[in-house]
Structure 1
Amino acid sequence: MKHNTKNTDSKPRVRVKIWVEHDGNMIMSDYLADLLVKIDETNSIKKAAELLNLPYRTALKKIQEIENSATTEIVSTRSGGATGGKSKLTESGRELIKKFNQISDKVMESDGEIFEPKSE
């Protein structure tokens, strides 16, 4: 008989993957939020993609898919030159991440409520 060596005093945990769709197209997920946050931190799609071990072209494609589905610009880009290019999140991009994080937080908060003993 195999014994569970994990902490048996802990309560069950809810595990979910959350994403947001618009007209059947994904516009936000943990993965996409991570990409957008890294773009905001580095001011670079290329650097963000490297940090996430993601091909640059895939990162660009994901951004285009979000923007097409959300029908708004999420990342503002300026081409290179002597000073190099720059990518920044737009207010719409920041708001999308903020709303996604709020949804995720609410779901995770409910995890604790579901398995708490009911007081009578």
Structure 2
Amino acid sequence: MSRQFRALAVAAVSPLAWAGPAAADAVPAGPFSCDYRFFAWSGGFVADLTVANHGPAVTGWTASWTFRSATGNLTAWQAKMAQPDPFTVTATNESYNAVIGTGRSVRFGWTASAASTEVPSDITVNGVPC
């Protein structure tokens, strides 16, 4: 199981924040690694998730995670996203990006409203911690 995240601090004078993944110097322990990035402002954020496949090719993927703060008004691209409650999110592939070959990745994103946001600590891909 590998978590690769990095945070980039933004000057204190800015009301905006950017956080992103860690340097990719760690070797992933599982079949997937995730690169979660977001740009926040007062009341909302835009984010994307890149899923890299280090194992055999997969056809069909589902990424899931939990937000710590209530989140709403999700608008996604490059994935179908479902939000059964204000904290839980599931993203599934579109027909054109269902296959993630060995050594390949897929990237999707969304905008949302939230009082605050951060990198989720429980991201899974096809049920495997990322």
Task: Find the structure with the greater CA-based Rg.
Answer: 1
Q: Of Structure 1 and Structure 2, which has the larger fraction of its residues in strand?
A: 2
Common fold: TM-score over 0.5: no
Q: Of Structure 1 and Structure 2, which has the larger fraction of its residues in helix?
A: 1
Larger RCO: Structure 1 or Structure 2 (Cα < 8 Å, ≥ 6 residues apart)? 2
- TM class by shorter chain equals under 0.3
Q: TM-score, normalised by structure 2?
A: 0.22
